[in-house]
Amino acid sequence: PQTIYLKDYRVPVFLVDHVDLRFELFEDGARVHSVLSMRRNPDSDSADKSLELNGDALTTLESLSLDGRALAEDAYENRVDRLVIHDVPDRFELGVVTWLEPQNNTRLEGLYQSSGMFCTQCEAEGFRCITYFPDRPDVMARFRTRIEADKASFPILLSNGNDVDKGDLENGRHFVTWEDPFPKPSYLFALVAGDLVEKRDSFHTMSGRDIDLRMYVEPRNAEKCDHAMDSLKRSMRWDEEVYGREYDLDIFMIVAVDDFNMGAMENKGLNIFNSSCVLASQETATDLAFQRIESIVAHEYFHNWSGNRVTCRDWFQLSLKEGFTVFRDSQFSADMGSPTVKRIEDATMLRTAQFAEDSGPMAHPVRPESYMEITNFYTLTIYEKGCEVVGMIHTLLGPDMFRKGSDLYFERHDGQAVTTDDFVRAMEDASGRDLSQFRLWYEQAGTPELTVQDEYDQAAGIYRLTIAQAIPDTPGQTNKKPQHIPFAVGLLGTGGESLPLKLSASDTDAPTDRVLELTEVSHTFEFHDVPERPVPSLLRNFSAPVRVYYPWTRDQLVFLMSHDPDGFNRWDAGQRLAVDVINALVGNAGSEAVDSGLTDAYRGLLTDASLDQALVAKMLQLPSEAYLIELADKPNVPAIHQARETVLGHLATALRDDLLACYQRNTVEGRYEVTPEAVARRSLRNTALAWLLHTDDEEGRALAVSQFESADNMTDRMGALRALVNSGYDQERERTLKAFYEQWKDDPQVVEQWFAVQAGSSRTGGLPAIRELLAHPAFDWKNPNKIRSVVGVFAGQNLPAFHAEDGSGYRFLEEQVRRLDDSNPQIAARLVSPLTRWRKFAPVHGEQMKTALESIRDKAGLSRDVYEVVHKSLA
């Protein structure tokens, strides 16, 4: 496959002003008539007279005409993925007719069928699977779309914009015509046709317009729309209040689809969602799912400005819309719930998974320089690190200047396809700050490592912090330049008080919280009038996506856990302490007692009801195995698993009575609500239950069974089920799993959770059990959610089984990737990911992982998606 480089970017030679589409949808296929009004781009210096359009093997070209006249066969070349039309005039209308078979489209790109309904996914390059088109985001056109289908089977026909015409046709068919007044790139095109129920609401905008809000779902999901609709209205209000952005069309539509590669898609005016990311009821969705849905609904809605009104010039700029929009949805979620908890969740994901990506063979900058298959670049680096980069600009500029910058960005670039550099420039122009060095965050891959040293000069009352930064080499990049890093700090005195941070002796009125700006390889900061050696609180609120090394003692960590006014760092101190205690036991199980400092600290968390319970609920989560593995060099996975289990077992035994008390205290009657307080209560209760069952506590068992049977919501039912599945109570496990399935077997979203709880369990998720799940009648190889909930969860969460000594876990993944490569390459390429880190693991494991990758590499007809990941990993 060909590699595409940013440096080769050229403006399009031809532009499309208008696209007229007519879809004829039938049982055995779809015919697409397209008329493109095109003209030569005045900004292009190309003298080439031929027009090149993108296409795909999924389309069959039926006919081609130019200005109404059929094109002779020698007037063009059809190279399947490209159509070259020779000698076109400067302005013309091109007619293209294609035939598709959506019912056989298992790639789920372009037009396909899911549970009988027709739907589309065009980002990044799916529109070319529908018709031949200059399928690149800097070609923006106005679309008019007429959809024709059987009226009884497909009463609902949707596309972007406003419905401008509809009527009946012969043979029981009907049509609806949609017109989108906003020019858009083809990746934002969408079509849906199905037998769906409609839920309606409305939103009154800040300028006084009433927007018609509509959700379309299959009839069985009619009762699962309220949460998404409420989330949408909150998002619309929030974007007006915080960013001054108002919705622009008269209608906003959301559709839920069961078979979907991504979480959701921000098509203009017609967002399409993976069912699991939009449908919720208290009986079927956990608190986590409620929160995820709120943030994804917001994310897709926010794209209307950050992505649709202002879009990307090319796919190297993907983070322009994704990083910024993730930042916006993170701010929104923080405002809707607990900002500290949201920060902890974001940092956990970043440190566990993005840091791993950034130190592996697929590491790439936030603005990549090359790719083979763009769908492989919808990564944690583009999304989450991209969000952090925008967040650092927010920190450096402050909220007011940042808002000025975003206003300028939207105003300056409305209706344009632009670059990350344009975004940074708007921030610079609005604030007067120079962000030239900061731009390196977009250009250099790899996670900066900050090594912090300190010294205290008692006589002078001066405390010095020296911070050195280094950025590891990544594929294709060495000798990196130092980056501009906002590093938030505080200093605590021995009584736990926050010390003023005086950067000079004459600094009066010094704050107790500062953002230090690191720009050099090494920086020393002097703090004056420091009366005693302080305990440093570093990288407060995770002010930059970096690793920090500082030799805190365990006593200092315990101290920070209870005294740091920065909630994030309180949590982080607990994590560091737990990591230290677990790591001391790795390969050493049973020979060393678990530090009583950790037990005491956790007891304090469990018993002190005056603490922020949402934060406590997070602090009681031990670092995950995935995070411990990420931190380790040549990790021994079974030993890490064992050490973590030992610590958990120790804590559960030592704190049994406190856990029971915590469980009881957090068992309260009342209506189910997804407030931070209620979520924290359920989280604490279910953590206590899980810990109790970890030691096969009889009382815990009885509580879990009773909670499973009486729960009125999925969080508590799943909490009890998970605790039982991971316990030694075989009978209860079997009984509850069976009962759960019987109750929910008709609800695919719940069945996905049932698969996942088993596939992720180190107690039940051995390979024979995983194979049984794959053979289960509810498993479906065509449904990405099912594949993720079994294969993805096994390889990503059931780490002792995936890293089994005999290499069987790796061979299993290899087998599934090879199988999926033919039907859904996008999903196959995502699933390969755990194998790509083979160099990180000890020789035997690493070699076995490499062998699995080589076997995938050697598969005949390997997709471009999987080819890129495998070849880069083996390089």
Least Å distance between CB 1 and ligand BAL? Answer: 22
- Phi–psi pair at 551, nearest 5 degrees: -80, 65
Kindly compute the dihedral angle of the four CA atoms of residues 287, 289, 290, 296, in this order, to the nearest 10 degrees: 150
Residue closer to ligand BAL by CB (options 300, 821) is 300
309 binds ligand BAL (CB under 6 A): no
373 is a catalytic site residue: no
Residue 82, helix vs strand vs coil: strand
Least Å distance between CB 252 and ligand BAL? Answer: 15
Residue closer to ligand BAL by CB (options 137, 490) is 137
Residue closer to ligand BAL by CB (options 383, 812) is 383
Query: Which option in ligand BAL, Zn ion, none does residue 262 bind, with CB closer than 5 to 8 A by kind?
Result: ligand BAL
Residues 311-330, mask of contacts with Zn ion (x by CB under 5 A): -----------x--x-----
Dist. CA 770–CA 589, nearest whole Å = 28
Contact positions with ligand BAL (CB under 6 A) in 255-284: 262, 264-266
Which two structure tokens, joined as six digits, stand for 840? 């990180």
The Cα-based distances of 62 to 26, 33, 78, 99, 691 in angstroms read: 16, 10, 11, 7, 63
Residue closer to ligand BAL by CB (options 264, 689) is 264
3-state secondary structure 520-569: CCEEEEEEECCCCCCEEEECHHHCCCCEEECCCCHHHHHHHHHHCCCHHH
Query: Which option in ligand BAL, Zn ion, none does residue 595 bind, with CB closer than 5 to 8 A by kind?
Result: none
User: Where would I find the beta strands (DSSP E) of 153-195?
Assistant: 156-159, 162-168, 173-185, 191-194
Which helix (H) or strand (E) segment is 380 a member of? helix 380-380
Residue closer to ligand BAL by CB (options 385, 425) is 385
- Phi–psi pair at 470, nearest 5 degrees: -145, 140
Least Å distance between CB 6 and Zn ion? Answer: 20
Q: Going by C-beta distance under 8 Å and a sequence separation of 6 or more, which residues neighbour residue 146? A: 21, 22, 23, 165, 175, 176, 177, 178
β-sheet bridge partners, residue 93: 37
Query: Which option in Zn ion, ligand BAL, none does residue 123 bind, with CB closer than 5 to 8 A by kind?
Result: ligand BAL
Least Å distance between CB 19 and Zn ion? Answer: 23
β-sheet bridge partners, residue 462: 457
Residues 87-126, mask of contacts with ligand BAL (x by CB under 6 A): ------------------------------------x---
Identify whether the C-beta of residue 680 lies closer than 8 Å to the C-beta of residue 662.
Answer: no
Residue type, 490: G
Residues 311-340, mask of contacts with ligand BAL (x by CB under 6 A): -----------x------------------
294 binds ligand BAL (CB under 6 A): no
Identify whether the C-beta of residue 270 lies closer than 8 Å to the C-beta of residue 287.
Answer: no
Residues 119-148, mask of contacts with ligand BAL (x by CB under 6 A): ----x-------------------------
Which helix (H) or strand (E) segment is 227 a member of? helix 226-243
Residue 832: closest CA among 859, 775, 608, 12: 859
Identify whether the C-beta of residue 364 lies closer than 8 Å to the C-beta of residue 446.
Answer: no
Residue closer to Zn ion by CB (options 160, 599) is 160
Identify whether the C-beta of residue 528 lies closer than 8 Å to the C-beta of residue 504.
Answer: yes
Query: Which option in Zn ion, ligand BAL, none does residue 265 bind, with CB closer than 5 to 8 A by kind?
Result: ligand BAL
Dist. CA 818–CA 798, nearest whole Å = 21
β-sheet bridge partners, residue 91: 39
Query: Which option in Zn ion, ligand BAL, none does residue 530 bind, with CB closer than 5 to 8 A by kind?
Result: none
Residue closer to ligand BAL by CB (options 298, 750) is 298
Residue closer to ligand BAL by CB (options 281, 325) is 325
Residue closer to ligand BAL by CB (options 262, 626) is 262
Query: Which option in Zn ion, ligand BAL, none does residue 357 bind, with CB closer than 5 to 8 A by kind?
Result: none
User: Residues 24, 123, 300, 373: which is the catalytic one?
Assistant: 300
Residue 64: closest CA among 81, 85, 82, 50: 85
Residues 223-262, mask of contacts with ligand BAL (x by CB under 6 A): ---------------------------------------x
Least Å distance between CB 277 and Zn ion? Answer: 12
β-sheet bridge partners, residue 173: 150
* Cβ neighbours, 10 Å, residue 251: 17
Which two structure tokens, joined as six digits, stand for 470? 């280094």
Q: Which range touches ligand BAL (CB under 6 A), out of 297-305, 561-569, 715-723, 858-866?
A: 297-305
Residues 664-703, mask of contacts with Zn ion (x by CB under 5 A): ----------------------------------------
300 binds ligand BAL (CB under 6 A): yes
Size of the site for ligand BAL (CB under 6 A): 9
Contact positions with ligand BAL (CB under 6 A) in 666-695: none
Least Å distance between CB 358 and Zn ion? Answer: 20
């000594």: which residue's tokens? 805
Residue 345, helix vs strand vs coil: helix
* Cβ neighbours, 10 Å, residue 718: 25
Query: Which option in ligand BAL, Zn ion, none does residue 626 bind, with CB closer than 5 to 8 A by kind?
Result: none
Residue 8, helix vs strand vs coil: helix
Query: Which option in Zn ion, ligand BAL, none does residue 135 bind, with CB closer than 5 to 8 A by kind?
Result: none
Dist. CA 457–CA 526, nearest whole Å = 10
Cis preceding linkage at 124, omega within 30:
yes
Residue closer to Zn ion by CB (options 326, 721) is 326
Dist. CA 414–CA 478, nearest whole Å = 37
Query: Which option in ligand BAL, Zn ion, none does residue 329 bind, with CB closer than 5 to 8 A by kind?
Result: none
β-sheet bridge partners, residue 175: 148, 167
Least Å distance between CB 322 and ligand BAL? Answer: 5
Sign of CA dihedral 601, 603, 609, 615: positive
Residue closer to ligand BAL by CB (options 265, 804) is 265
Residues 714-753, mask of contacts with ligand BAL (x by CB under 6 A): ----------------------------------------
Q: Which range touches ligand BAL (CB under 6 A), out of 34-42, 299-307, 340-348, 586-594?
A: 299-307
Which listed residue (299, 309, 502, 818) binds ligand BAL by CB under 6 A?
A: 299
Identify whether the C-beta of residue 123 lies closer than 8 Å to the C-beta of residue 93.
Answer: no
Least Å distance between CB 303 and ligand BAL? Answer: 6
- Chain centroid, CA 2 distance in Å: 27
Dist. CA 137–CA 55, nearest whole Å = 15
Query: Which option in ligand BAL, Zn ion, none does residue 180 bind, with CB closer than 5 to 8 A by kind?
Result: none
Q: Where along the sequence are the contacts to ligand BAL (CB under 6 A)?
A: 123, 262, 264-266, 299-300, 303, 322
Q: Where along the sequence are the contacts to Zn ion (CB under 5 A)?
A: 322, 325
Active-site residue set: 300
